[in-house]
Structure 1
Amino acid sequence: MNIKRCVIYAKDIQRITGRSVRYSHEVIRKIRHLTEKEKGQYVTVAEFAAFSGIPESEVSDYLN
Structure 2
Amino acid sequence: MTQVCIYPKDAARLTGTQYTAGKRLLQRIRAALGKPAGSYVSVGEFCAYTRLPEPEVTAAINGVPVLPRR
TM-score for both structures, normalised by structure 2 = 0.84
Give the corresponding residue for 2:13: 15
In the alignment, structure 2 segments of 5+ residues that lack a partner are 63-70
Code of the residue aligned with 1:58 in structure 2: it is: E
Code of the residue aligned with 2:54 in structure 1: it is: E
Larger Rg: 2
Q: Equivalent of 1:40, from 17, 35, 38?
A: 38
User: Could you report, residue by residue, the CA deviation over 1:4-40 in whole angstroms, capped at 9, with x for unpaired residues?
Assistant: 1110001001111110111101100000001100011
Question: Any conservation in 2 of the 1:32–1:38 contact (CA below 8 Å)?
Answer: yes
Structure 1's consecutive aligned runs of 4 or more residues displaced over 3 angstroms after TM superposition are none
2:63 is aligned with 1:61? no
Q: Equivalent of 1:27, from 2, 25, 28?
A: 25
TM-score for both structures, normalised by structure 1 = 0.91
> 2: distance between equivalents of 1:60 and 1:7?
10
Question: Does the residue aligned with 1:32 lie in a helix, a strand or coil?
Answer: helix
Code of the residue aligned with 1:19 in structure 2: it is: T
Give 1:63 shift: 1.1
In the alignment, structure 1 segments of 5+ residues that lack a partner are none
Q: Percent identity?
A: 35
**RMSD of aligned residue pairs (Cα, Å):** 0.7
